Amino acid sequence: MDVMLDLESLRRHVLRLPVFGAVALVVAASIVLSSAATMVMTVALYGGVAPHFWRYMSIAVAVPTVVAGPVSWLIVRLLQEVDVARGAAMELAWKDELTGLLNRRRFVELAQRELDRAPRQHRPLAVAMVDLDDFKRINDELGHLAGDQLLRVAARSCVSVLRATDLVGRWGGEEFALVLPDADAATARAAAERVRQAIESACVAIGNGSAARCTASLGVVLMAPAGARFEDLVGRADEAMYEAKRLGKNRVRLAA
């Protein structure tokens, strides 16, 4: 297993090199291996240096140089193309098509990873649910195209005011989910308030000089004890978010 991981790591490092650099590395490795094999065979067959040792060594260097160069160039190019295609496929599998955020499946996977790590490292963590207010009315009155544009703007607004270490995903419909590592109550509330203000400030032009806007209600919950499921935190954050809506919408509510 460790050998497989080392080979995968080596493959990734080689593919990060320019094609010329990767080819040169492969050719150099081929020459070294060929020369070493020639020396071992010479010693094994002649018990020392062969009569035409340097002729054999020149062949051992020349053959890999001539053969390994074009072959490795072709292989490296193919591997790089496969790597790019695999990255694009993973991007499609992990991202929400409309907003570009993490989709729900990938978000839950990464969120549970953070939830498992935080207690071991004695770090706080918070989860927040974000729901755009009266979004059905926006779709009904302005059309689904304007609604989709607002979703994209709201998604970008969330990302723009959060840290690179925070997770942002589309939970479904007009609802987003956030995971805030290293966030205590004050930090989590401040982050949620930044998100709320960013969404409130965003707008989408819909023609005739008018613009579509929306607000958001947020529920925030702090990390439960170690071993808690992410779904439990989401449920509590959802309850806090609906409480924010009952209190008048466009606000942040911290779960008890």
- Of residues 97, 141, 174, 193, which has the active-site annotation? 174
CA distance 12 to 112: 27
Is residue 96 within 8 Å of 170, Cβ to Cβ? Answer: yes
pLDDT on residue 19: 66
List, for residues 67-113, the tens digit of each pLDDT value.
666 776 676 676 666 666 665 556 657 799 999 999 999 999 999 99
pLDDT at 56 over 70: no
Residues 6+ apart with CB under 8 A from 133: 214, 215, 216, 217, 245, 249, 250
Residue 46 banded pLDDT, cuts 50, 70, 90: low
In the chain the domains, ranked by start, together with CATH numbers, are 2-94 (no CATH), 104-254 (3.30.70.270)
CA distance 216 to 158: 11
Render 44-83 in DSSP notation, one character per residue: HHHSS--TTHHHHHHHHHHHHHHHHHHHHHHHHHHHHHHH
% residues pLDDT > 70 (the chain): 73
pTM: 0.68
pLDDT on residue 188: 97
At which residue do the structure tokens 């065979």 appear? 41
**Active-site residue 174, yes or no?**
yes
List, for residues 170-225, the tens digit of each pLDDT value.
999 999 999 999 999 999 999 999 999 999 999 888 777 778 899 999 999 998 76
